Structure 1
Amino acid sequence: MQRSGGGKTRRSKRRAQAAVPADLQVFLQALREISVTERTLATNERHQLRNAGAEAAEHGVPLSELIEQHLTRTWRSWTTLPGVESADNAEAVKKVGEAVFRAAEDAVSELTKGYEETQRWTMRTEESLRREFIDDLLAGRDVGQLAERAERYGLRLAGQNVVAAAWAPEPFVTSGTATSNVQAAMSLRFSSRHVLVAAREGLLVCVVPHDLGGAPEEFARQVGEVVGRSARWRVGVGQPQSGPGGAARSFEQARNALDLADRLELGERFVKAADLLVYQVLLRDSAALGELVTAVLEPLRGARGGAERLVETLGVYFASGRVTTATAKALGVGVRTVTYRLGRVRELTGYRADDPAQAFTLQVAVLGARLLAWPQRKSAP
């Protein structure tokens, strides 16, 4: 009884046979002469076999099928080879066999070299095209052609996409182990047709569809795995954006989120641009913000030891919900020290940190100071 899968197997083999390059026929002709002269493959024959391997790779013929076809045709031609037909004893047949099998082995080597060289070239070309596409996508270049090129990578620019950007002390590079490991992990988790990971400007960038739930968080987790949980790193996430220029806008937001988180010295590893909008609003009029910082906090420069310690105390005080005991614990000082410092702020600036209305002005000024790197700068811009 014939197995039900037999027909499919035969059809697959017929397709493989049809796809075998014509240059492979050269080897079968050479075998006829080799069986008589017992010579090795000539240089031109080796070159043609490499071409056959390259052609098979270009047409998508699996290497295993190519070699199978080569060996099948070799053994099928055995009984018709002139050297075999003319052999009159076992020793003569043995010599012919050695020459033929040596040639078959050399032919497999040449086929494989041609196949693998073409595959490597194809992979390098594909990777180059991919990097070029990601560069154009994140820079917003060639917008008119981006949508068409995006289809190659499974991105729908008409839909919403999100960009996450990871920072670490050691810049990410295209050929780096960290980059390739995160890319492989994300492709395995979500399919390479939906996720683009690449190094850009020292950051590791991930572009994903907005509806691919959990992808930015998984990207951050993988970054932590390759960089090290105890190391310094952070991931910023832009807002969902649509259209050919959407990825560039989301990438800019992700970078801004990283910059703001660094300025504000946030402890979070994962920061979203949407959660930092209030700081963006403050920075949109940096001149006015600078005037506020100068007007409110400049007198603190007159404190013994400078303004830094008092500004830090105010920042922790507001972050602790204006609770002096929590502030003292966070700073590692006594409650009386916190009370004293808040008193000095009141004396120097005229603003009370425990008064709701005045505290709001102080808090915005402290946020502005952190955003504008004051008091390290001699005056706010």
Structure 2
Amino acid sequence: MSISGDVGSGPDAFRIDGQVLRALRDGLPAVAAQTLLAVMAEVPGYRVGFRGPMGESIQAAVQMAIGGFLKLASGTREGDPSTPRRTTLDGAYALGRGEARAGRSMDALLAAYRVGARVSWRGLARNAAEAGLPASAMAEFAELLFAYIDELSAASVAGYNDELNTSGRVRERYRERLGQRLLAGGTADVLTAAAERAEWTPPTTLTAVLLPAAQVHGVLALLGAETLLVSEELPGADSWAVDQPHALLLVPEVDGGGRQHLIRVLDRRQAVVGPARPWLAVRASYDRAVRTLALVAAAEPELVHPVDSEDHLVDLVVGADGEALADLRARVLEPLAELAEATRERLAETLLCWLLHQGRREEVAEALHVHAQTVRYRMQQVRELYGDRLLDERFVRELVVALVPQR
């Protein structure tokens, strides 16, 4: 990417004559070396990195930058007069991208420019004065130099930010793909390799959170950079009974108190939280969240608060296979089938309450708001209909499941 622009009022406003220019060019290597040493001494991030071959490359870059300034200040009109500045700006832009890739901060780079501007000005000003540059011209010389350095630093900042944005987008794509791979399943080796490509450290557990796509970004900022976002190709999304597109967050390490914190973060959002699962098995958390979403969407279409799937375990278990439940109810309640509907409902209600209270007649009567003798009479009818099957633990368990009211 090429960076271009005007420095101050440009070369038309200031000229260096040939004698001064030759002196400045002759002193250029020494000024560049002094500038490099000052940056190494005053900017901690560069003390080690500029030694050896890299130091030689940077020194050459400093010489090129100052040389570009001298061409600008000389008003050279050979060929395209913008070429020296364009080449130097491209170099500054590339330097910014390289610093971002090296993991150094923008603060270090800007500090290097500040130190470099001060030291190079000191050397150039001394050489210019010795070569006869009038004192009256020094202010304009300084203004042009510092405007030039500002332009170089702006080019480096642009390169730095572009590299971060580019690498950030690449990393986001890799992490989106990682989330999709986790849902699709795969071997530990394949998924670990995908995590490495995404620069993502696998946690012990992941928790699936489904929420409307429009609410995602406000939540992401609160959950941390290691949360994975899957906004496309969610398995089974076409069959969900919801009227808006949803996205999936895979949140690391949501255990114990962390789960309550997550629920608080999701306050006033239409989110559904699955269980924490080992990161390689997060599909199970996603599936639980999907089933819970379907459950609550049917019962509460205008949902305006987060839902914890842990609060709906019984409903999820009982409603996991609707046809199987219907078959179970038909089979275990068959002895009541020939009774009048009102009688059938009263006996079924009494039987469930009797089983839940383990046959304690007074508690059953209190729960049903009837007399204990009424309970005794109803249970006598039930025993006549069911016989010894009420002594079979497996059958009793089936009765409880079949008799629990369905939402």
TM-score if structure 1 supplies the norm length? 0.62
Counterpart CA distance in 1 for 2:89 and 2:338 is 83
Gaps of 5+ in 1: 1-5, 374-381
Match of 1:258 among 271, 287, 292: 292
Match of 2:173 among 114, 128, 141: 128
Counterpart CA distance in 2 for 1:220 and 1:300 is 49
Q: Residues 135-146 of structure 1: matches in 2 within 5 Å?
A: 135-141=180-186, 144-146=189-191
Provide, for residues 82-130 of structure 1, a one-character-per-residue CA deviation record: whole Å limited to 9, x for no partner. Answer: 7555454332111111111111111111111111111111111112111
Measured after TM superposition, the shift of residue 144 of structure 1 is 4.9
Provide, for residues 256-282 of structure 1, a one-character-per-residue CA deviation record: whole Å limited to 9, x for no partner. Answer: 7736975998x9835199x769938x9
Measured after TM superposition, the shift of residue 76 of structure 1 is 2.6
- Counterpart of 1:364 in structure 2 is 401
Q: Give the partner amino acid of 1:220.
A: R
Counterpart CA distance in 2 for 1:112 and 1:37 is 27
When residues 171 and 111 of structure 1 are mapped into structure 2, their CA distance, relative to the original with a 3 A threshold, is same
When residues 70 and 351 of structure 1 are mapped into structure 2, their CA distance, relative to the original with a 3 A threshold, is same
Q: Give the partner amino acid of 2:221.
A: S
Match of 1:164 among 184, 189, 207: 207
Three-state SS of the structure 2 residue aligned to 1:71 is helix
Counterpart CA distance in 2 for 1:248 and 1:328 is 46
Q: Residues 157-196 of structure 1: matches in 2 within 5 Å?
A: 161-167=204-210, 170-172=211-213, 176-182=217-223, 184=224, 192=226, 196=227
Match of 2:120 among 65, 77, 82: 77
- Counterpart of 2:330 in structure 1 is 294
Match of 2:194 among 149, 172, 188: 149
Q: Give the partner amino acid of 2:273.
A: V
Match of 1:335 among 369, 373, 376: 369
Q: Residues 239-258 of structure 1: matches in 2 within 5 Å?
A: 240=278, 246-251=280-285, 254-255=288-289, 258=292
Three-state SS of the structure 2 residue aligned to 1:216 is coil
Counterpart CA distance in 2 for 1:261 and 1:346 is 37
Match of 1:42 among 76, 82, 85: 85
Counterpart CA distance in 1 for 2:63 and 2:363 is 84
Residue 30 of structure 1 pairs with residue 49 of structure 2: no
Counterpart CA distance in 2 for 1:300 and 1:103 is 97
When residues 233 and 145 of structure 1 are mapped into structure 2, their CA distance, relative to the original with a 3 A threshold, is closer
Provide, for residues 205-241 of structure 1, a one-character-per-residue CA deviation record: whole Å limited to 9, x for no partner. Answer: 4364xxx6xx33345323322332x766543215558
Three-state SS of the structure 2 residue aligned to 1:271 is helix
- Counterpart of 1:99 in structure 2 is 144
Counterpart CA distance in 1 for 2:270 and 2:85 is 60
Counterpart CA distance in 2 for 1:90 and 1:260 is 81
Preserved CA contact (<8 Å) 2:96 2:156: yes
Match of 2:310 among 271, 275, 289: 271
**Pairwise CA RMSD:** 5.3
Q: Give the partner amino acid of 1:250.
A: A
- Counterpart of 1:224 in structure 2 is 263
**Greater gyration radius:** 2
When residues 48 and 356 of structure 1 are mapped into structure 2, their CA distance, relative to the original with a 3 A threshold, is same
Which is further off, 75-84 or 129-138?
75-84
TM-score if structure 2 supplies the norm length? 0.59
Provide, for residues 133-190 of structure 1, a one-character-per-residue CA deviation record: whole Å limited to 9, x for no partner. Answer: 121122214765222333542228xxxx5442234xx5256952113322x2xx6xxx
Preserved CA contact (<8 Å) 1:136 1:142: no
Counterpart CA distance in 1 for 2:213 and 2:151 is 43
Counterpart CA distance in 1 for 2:366 and 2:249 is 38
When residues 232 and 99 of structure 1 are mapped into structure 2, their CA distance, relative to the original with a 3 A threshold, is closer
Three-state SS of the structure 2 residue aligned to 1:153 is coil
When residues 283 and 123 of structure 1 are mapped into structure 2, their CA distance, relative to the original with a 3 A threshold, is closer
Preserved CA contact (<8 Å) 2:273 2:307: no
Counterpart CA distance in 1 for 2:295 and 2:364 is 21
Q: Give the partner amino acid of 2:217.
A: G
Provide, for residues 59-99 of structure 1, a one-character-per-residue CA deviation record: whole Å limited to 9, x for no partner. Answer: 23332222233333333333336755545433211111111
Gaps of 5+ in 2: 1-39, 235-245, 300-305
Match of 1:13 among 36, 47, 54: 47
